[in-house]
Structure 1
Amino acid sequence: MAEGVLFNIAEGIIGRLGSLAFQEIGLIWGVQDEFQKLKETVVAFQAVLLDAEQKQANNEVKLWLQSVEDAVYEADDVLDEFNTKAQQRQMVLENTKVSKKVHLFFSNSNQLVFGLKMGHKIKNINKRINEVASHRPSDLKDNHEDTRFIKRERVTHSFVPEENIVGRDEDTKAIIQLLMDPISTENVSTISIVGIGGLGKTALAQLIFNNKVIQNHFELKIWTCVSNAFELDIVVKKILQSKNHDEIEQLQKDLRKKVARKKYLLVLDDVWNEDREKWLSLKNLLMGGGEGSRILITTRSKTVATISDTAKSYTLKGLNEEQSWSLFKKMAYKDGKETENSTIKAVAEEVARKCQGVPLAIRTIGGMLFAKDDESDWLNFKEKELSKISQEENDILPTLKLSYDVLPSHLKHCFAYCSLFPPDYKISVQRLIRLWVAQGFIKSSDENKGLEDVAYEYYRELLWRSFFQEEEKDEFGIIRSCKMHDLMNELAILVSGIGSVVVEPDQKNFHEKLRHVSFNFQVDLSEWEVPTSLPKAKKIRTFLFLCQNEFSDIDGSLCDSFCAIIVSNFKSLRMLSLSKLGIKGVPKCLRKMKYLRYLDVSGNRMKRLPDWIVGLSNLETLDLSYCVKLVELPRDIKKMFNLRHLILEGCRGLSGMPRGIGELKGVRTLNRFVLSESNCLGRGGSAGLAELGTLNELRGELEIDKLSHHVVSESNVGTPLKDQQHLHSLQLIWKEGEDVKGVDGEDIIKSMEVLQPHSNLKQLLVFGYSGVRFASWFSSLINIVNLRLNGCERCQHLPPLDHLPSLKSLELRCLEKLEYISKKESSNSMSDEMMRISLFPSLEQLSIAHCPVLKGWCRAHTHNSASSSSSTENMSFPSFPCLSTLYINWCPNLTSLPEGTRALPRLSTLHILRCPILSARCRKETGEDWPKIAHIPHIDIR
C-alpha cells in the first residue's frame, strides 16, 4: 500500500459527507445521523493516518493499517452507491416527462426500502470502523495536516577524490563555463544542476567546488547541504557554520557581512524547497556579493530551479554505455581490471546496462559484487531484480525513495499507481490522467478547473520532480506520452506494495489485498484462463490490458464467461478494460458494475451498444475507439450524465449521433460527430450541429463527418464551433458524392460559413467541400499551424493564406478546378509597405498534389492597360523565408513557382514529380528562372 493513499481516500470521504448534496441525501433517506457518525469516525482516522503510514516498519502498525484500508475502501463504495442513486433521482426530477415505470422506481415505498437498506450498510460500516479504531496502536500521533516534508536529513560535504568520478568531464567543463561566464546583469546569479536521485549531482558539484580554476576564480567558497529543512534561520546557520543560538536578526547581519562585496561561490546541495517566498527571504541576504558571484544548486526538482530564479539550468543525464562499463569495472573488479571469465563478463555487462547509466546504482551493485570470482555468484545475481536486493543504507532505491517521501499524499497516490506500467512502457498521458480521475485520486476545490486539468498539473509536478522522463509532444506542444526510468519503475513497485501488480502470462498466485492489476501480455480468451487465486482479490478496482492486438471473432460464450467472473468477484471496479478481445456485444452482466468510471471496449466488433449501458451512470470514460463496425450509439446516451470522455476515434461505421447528446454538458472528449441527413437515426432521432454547439467543454480533436449543404443549411444552427476555444484540431468532412447540381453556389458557401471555428484552432483539415470558394473566416485563423485542403473538386479560389502568421504546413490535394493559388495586385499598385511583407512568414512545409489545371502561383490583376501584360511571376517581394520542404506532384500544367522561391534560404528537400513543364525548367541548375540547386540536400525532380 502506497503511503498517503488512505489519507487521500479518507479526505475524499470527509469531503463528500460534508457536502450539501450528501446532507440532502441524508434527509431524504433518513440516514443523516449515520452520515455524521461516519464523518466523525473517518476524521479521527485521518488524524493519525500519515503518522501510521510513515511507521509501517512496525508490524503492529502495518497490520492495523491493513484493517483500516479495508474499512475505508468499503465506506467509499457505500457512499458511491448513495451518490449514484441521488444523481439518478435528481435527473428524473428534472425531467418533466417521466415514465410511469420510473415514477414507480422513485415512489415513497421504494425510497423507504432503499433508505432502510443503505442505512443498514452505513451502520455496519460505522460499527466496523469503530471496532478498528479501538485497536489503534498507542504510539500513533494525531496529525490532521498532509505534511509536505518528513524529517529525514541528509548530510554532504565539499570534498570528493577526483579519481572517484567517472564520465563527467564534459559536464564539469560545461558547468565551470557557466560559473565563470557573465550570464546575468545581477552581481549574484543562480545555476542549478537538475536530475533524478543517484545521478551524481552532489559528486559533480564537489568536483567543481574543488577545481583549481574555480578555487582561483572565487574569493569566497561555501558548501552547504540544505536537504529538507529550508527554514531561513536553519539555512543561514548552515551557511555560517554557526552553532550559536542567535536570533534571525543577528544571523542575517552576519551573513550579509560575510558575503558583502566578495565574489563568492555558494553551493546549496540537495535543495527540496518549492516555496518561492522562503527562497526570496534567503536570496535577499545574499545579493550583496561582488560581481560574478554564483549560487550553485543541486536538486531533483525542476520546480526548485524555477522558483530560485535560475539564470541557467543544467540537466544532468545518465552515463553512456562506455562510461557505465568503466565505472562498473572500477567498483566490481579488483584494481578495476576486467575479468577474463567470459561468463562473468557477460553477466557484468548486462548488470551495468540494467543500471541505466545511474552512477549510484552502478556503485551500489558493483560494490555488492566486488571481488566475487565464483561464476555461480554472478549467475545467481543475474536472476535477481533490483527490488529484491537487500536495501542497504547506500542502495539506490532508498535514495530514490527520498524523492517519494517528500511528495504530498495526492502525488504519492498517483505515482504509486504507475506501478501498473512495466519498464520502458510508453505511457499515454491522456489515458493516465483519465485513470487517475476514475480512481478518485484527483480533487479540485476550484469550480472553474476540471479534474483533468488538476490531474495534468499533478503529472507536470511529477515530471518536474523527475519521476517521469522521455516526454513526447506533438507539433502543437501537447504532451502525448512519457516513460519512467527503470529505477523509478522499481520505486513505484516498492511503494505500491501488495496493492498493485503487472500480471505475467504464467502468474498463478495473487494477494487477496490486491487493488489494481494490469496485464503485460496478449490475453486470448480461447487459450488463457483466469487464475483461480485472482478472483479471491475481491477489492480490485483496476483491470487493465496494456498490449492487446486485435483478434478474430471469438465465441461469445467465452467472453460472457470471462466477464461473469469479473463481475461476480470484482464488484468495486472503477476501471475495466475489454479492449481488442474480438467480442461482438457488450456482455449483459456488466450492467451490474455500478461503480464503474472507465470502460474500455475499444477495437471490438460490436455493431451496437445495449440500451442498458446508459444505466452505468457513474461512467466518465467510454472508449469505443476503432470499433469499426459500430453503427450507432445508445439512444438515451443523455442519461450518462457523468460522461466526460466519449472516444470514437476510428469509428468509421457510425451513421449519426443520437438526439440529446448535446445535454452531456461535461463532455471534454468527442473525437467524431457524425451528421445524418435523415432525422430518424435508430429509434430516438439524430442530433444536428445545434447540439454540438452546446458542448462547450470539448478539448483536443474533433472530426465532423457527413457534412452536406442540405444538413447544414436546414439546421439553422448559428455558428456552433465559434465558441469552442479549447479545440486544437478540426476536420470537416463533406458527404461523399453529394449532388449540388442546381444549388446556388452562394448557398454552398454559406453552409461552410456557419462552421467557423474559434481563432485558437491549430489544425484544420477540409475534405470534399463542394464550393467554388471557401468561407471568409479562413483569414481569422491567426493561430493555425497546419492546413490541409483535400478533394475540394469544384474549388476555383483559395482563401488568402499568405499572411497567416503561424501557418507552418500547407497541403493542397485534388483541387481539380484550381488554376492559381492566390490572387495579387500587380507590383505597380502595391504600397511600399506591402512590398516589404514576407508572404507565408512561418511556412516550413508546402505540398501540392493532383491539381491538374494549376498554372501558377498568382493570377495578375492590373489597373491599367500599360501593365496588363505584366506577370506576378516577376513580382520581387520576399516570400517563404522558412520553407524547408517543397513537394509538388502531378500538376502537369504548372509552369513556374512564385518569385520568392528562387532563393529559399532554408530549403532542404525538393520533390517535383510528374510536372513535365516545371521539372524541365528546374533541371537547369543555372539561369534566371532558378538558381543553382545542387546545395539542397534532398532533391528529386522527375
Structure 2
Amino acid sequence: MADFVLSFVVDAALSRVVSLITDEIILAWNLKDDLKGLQESLTMIRAVLQDTEEQQTTREPVRLWLKKLQEAAYDAEDVFDELAYENLRRKVEMQDQSGREVNKFFSFSKGTRYVKKAAFHFKMARKVKNINDLLNKIKNEAMGFGLQAERALGNGPLIPLDSNLEAIGKEIAKKCRGVPLAAKVLGGTMGFNRDKNAWLLIEKSEVLNASHNKDNVVSILKLSFDHLPLYLKSCFAYCSIFPKDFEIAKEELIQLWMAEGLLKPSNKDEGYKYFNLLLQNSFFQDVERDQHENIRWCKMHDLVHDLALSFSKSETLTLENCSTSDDMSSIRRLYVNRDNTTTLMACSKGTAKKLRSLFIEDIVFDGSWKLKRLRTLNLNGANIEELPSSISKLKHLRYLDISETKIEALPESITELYNLQTFSRFFFTQTSKISLLSN
C-alpha cells in the first residue's frame, strides 16, 4: 500500500515557508515581483489540505498531488531559509569589518564580494521563480481536482456548552470500558476542547462502539489525535524519532522543535505550552520532576509511540522501523545506533540528501556525509574525536549536541553556523567557546 501524505505535515511546512518570507528578505533580495502570487497560492493550497487528506484514500491522483506539494513545500523552505542565512551572514561580516582600515586589498575584496553577491542573487532568484511557478501549477491542479476549501474552513459556529456536557462525558467513559490508557487520552482531549460538538463526535464515533482489544485502543488514540490542533500534531509526530521507552528531556525536546521550525526561534514559553498540552492529553507519561516540581523528563507509552510513528513513517527512520531495503531518498529524520548501523551505511553513500534531523549514538561518525539540509545534528555518545571543518557548510543547522564524545576542541569554521540556536557539550572545559556558541 502506498504511503499516505498527512495534511498537517504539509500545512506545517507551508506555514514555515510563510514565516520565512519576511519584508526584510523581500527588500534585501528585491523579490517583490517574484513573490507577487506566492502568498495567494499558499493561502489557497492550505485551505484545501483537509479535503485532500480524506480523498487520497480513494483517488490516487490526489495522493500524488499531495506528495508533490509536500516536496515543493520543503524545497521552498530550504530556499528561503538559505536567503535568511545569507542575509545574516552579511550582517555579521559588516559588523566584523566596521572600524577596519580600508586599503587596496579591502577594495579588491569588496569588488569580489559584489560579484559573488550578484551571482548568488541570480541563482536564488531563479530558484524562487521556479518555486513560485510550481506552487501556482499545484494550486491550479487542486482546482482541477474539484477540491473544496470550505470544508477546511469549518462548518459554522460552535454550539455553546450546556448542562448535557457532563452526561456526554459519562457515556464516553462507559464506552472506554475501563481501559486506563484510552480513558486518560480521551479525558485529556475533552479537557483540552470543551466544546459540545467535539464531545458529541467522540461519543458517536464507531471506534468507541467497537470490541475491546488492542486495535480498538489504538483507534481511540487516533481519535484523540484527530482532535488536536495542527501545530500539536506536528510536535507529537516528531517525537517518534526517539526509541521506545526513551527518557525524553523536556528542555531538549523544545529546542528540537525549534530547530525543526515547529516553534518560532527563542519562543520557549510556546514550547512549554505545547509540551503541557500533550502531557494533558496523556500522550506523555511517567514524568520525572526536579526538587522544585518542574518536569525534567517524560516517556511515551508504546502504543502512543506506535501512533506517532504511523504518522511520520514516510519521513522518519528509527530503531523500530528501519531496514536495509528502506528508500532513504525521502527520509528527513533518522536515529541510528549499533542496532541499525546498516542504515548508517546507506546515509554515508549520499542517499539521504533530504535529511533534516540526525541522531547518532554509540557508533563512529566520520563527518563525510553531504547533508546540506540538516537542521539537527545530535552526536551525543557518538564515537567521534573531532568535528570536520566542513561543518560550516551546514547552513541550516540550528541544533548541535556533542555531549559524551571525545571532542576536545572545535574547528574555527564553526563560527560560520549563523543559524545555530542550541549547542550542547557536557564536561567541556573550553567555556569561552561554549559561550560564543550558546548565544
TM-score of the alignment, normalized to the shorter chain, above 0.5: yes
| Distance change (3 Å), C-alpha of 1:65 and 1:102 | farther
Task: Supply the AA of the counterpart residue of 1:40.
Answer: E
Task: Supply the AA of the counterpart residue of 1:619.
Answer: L
| Distance change (3 Å), C-alpha of 1:146 and 1:436 | farther
Residue 487 of structure 1: CA displacement? 1.2
2-structure distance, mates of 1:606, 1:299: 43
Residue 307 of structure 1: CA displacement? 9.2
CA contact (8 A) 1:7 1:46 kept: yes
Paired position in structure 1 for 2:186: 300
Aligned residue among 375, 387, 398 for 1:574: 375
SS at match of 2:391: helix
Matched, 1:23 2:26: yes
Matched, 1:584 2:400: no
Residue 303 of structure 1: CA displacement? 7.5
Paired position in structure 1 for 2:230: 409
Structure 2: gaps (5+ residues)? 174-182, 195-207
Paired position in structure 2 for 1:140: 147
CA contact (8 A) 1:517 1:543 kept: yes
Paired position in structure 1 for 2:252: 431
Task: Supply the AA of the counterpart residue of 1:601.
Answer: I
Residue 75 of structure 1: CA displacement? 0.4
Paired position in structure 2 for 1:516: 333
Matched, 1:73 2:74: yes
Give runs of aligned pairs for residues 425-574 of structure 1, distance below 5 A.
Answer: 425-443=246-264, 450-503=266-319, 507-511=323-327, 512-519=329-336, 521=338, 530-531=345-346, 535-545=350-360, 548-549=361-362, 559-560=365-366, 563-564=367-368, 566-567=369-370, 570-574=371-375
Choose between structure 1 and 2 for higher RCO, CA contacts under 8 A separated by at least 6 residues: 2
SS at match of 1:34: coil
2-structure distance, mates of 1:24, 1:417: 34
Higher strand share: 1
Paired position in structure 1 for 2:200: none
| Distance change (3 Å), C-alpha of 1:93 and 1:481 | same
C-alpha distance after superposition, 1:370-400 (max 9, x if no partner)? xxxxxxxxxxxxxxxx7xxxxxxxx332221
2-structure distance, mates of 1:574, 1:452: 18
Task: Supply the AA of the counterpart residue of 1:37.
Answer: G
1-structure distance, mates of 2:72, 2:27: 24
TM-score, normalisation: structure 1? 0.39
1-structure distance, mates of 2:152, 2:293: 36
| Distance change (3 Å), C-alpha of 1:83 and 1:405 | same
| Distance change (3 Å), C-alpha of 1:434 and 1:63 | same
SS at match of 1:498: coil
Residue 268 of structure 1: CA displacement? 3.3
Paired position in structure 2 for 1:727: none
CA contact (8 A) 1:426 1:482 kept: yes
Higher helix share: 2
Paired position in structure 1 for 2:17: 13
C-alpha distance after superposition, 1:708-766 (max 9, x if no partner)? xxxxxxxxxxxxxxxxxxxxxxxxxxxxxxxxxxxxxxxxxxxxxxxxxxxxxxxxxxx
2-structure distance, mates of 1:102, 1:40: 43
| Distance change (3 Å), C-alpha of 1:44 and 1:306 | closer
Residue 73 of structure 1: CA displacement? 0.4
Task: Supply the AA of the counterpart residue of 1:9.
Answer: A
CA contact (8 A) 2:336 2:343 kept: no
C-alpha distance after superposition, 1:476-512 (max 9, x if no partner)? 1221111111111111112223121214698212233
How many correspondences in the alignment? 405
CA contact (8 A) 2:377 2:400 kept: yes
Matched, 1:419 2:240: yes
| Distance change (3 Å), C-alpha of 1:82 and 1:298 | closer
Task: Supply the AA of the counterpart residue of 2:129.
Answer: K
C-alpha distance after superposition, 1:498-540 (max 9, x if no partner)? 121214698212233222111254688xx99613797433212
Residue 455 of structure 1: CA displacement? 1.1
SS at match of 2:34: helix
1-structure distance, mates of 2:108, 2:403: 32
Task: Supply the AA of the counterpart residue of 2:18.
Answer: I
Matched, 1:268 2:83: no
SS at match of 2:314: helix
Task: Supply the AA of the counterpart residue of 1:518.
Answer: Y
Give runs of aligned pairs for residues 165-184 of structure 1, distance below 5 A.
Answer: none
Identity of aligned residues (%): 28
Paired position in structure 1 for 2:159: 231
Matched, 1:608 2:406: no
C-alpha distance after superposition, 1:757-800 (max 9, x if no partner)? xxxxxxxxxxxxxxxxxxxxxxxxxxxxxxxxxxxxxxxxxxxx
Q: Which protein is bigger by CA-based radius of gyration?
A: 1
Paired position in structure 2 for 1:43: 43
2-structure distance, mates of 1:306, 1:126: 38
Give runs of aligned pairs for residues 817-836 of structure 1, distance below 5 A.
Answer: none
Residue 413 of structure 1: CA displacement? 0.3
Task: Supply the AA of the counterpart residue of 1:268.
Answer: G
Residue 420 of structure 1: CA displacement? 1.1
Structure 1: gaps (5+ residues)? 152-228, 240-264, 273-296, 309-358, 366-385, 387-394, 445-449, 552-557, 647-663, 665-942
C-alpha distance after superposition, 1:226-281 (max 9, x if no partner)? xxx96138x67x78xxxxxxxxxxxxxxxxxxxxxxxxx84534789xxxxxxxxx
CA contact (8 A) 1:582 1:603 kept: no
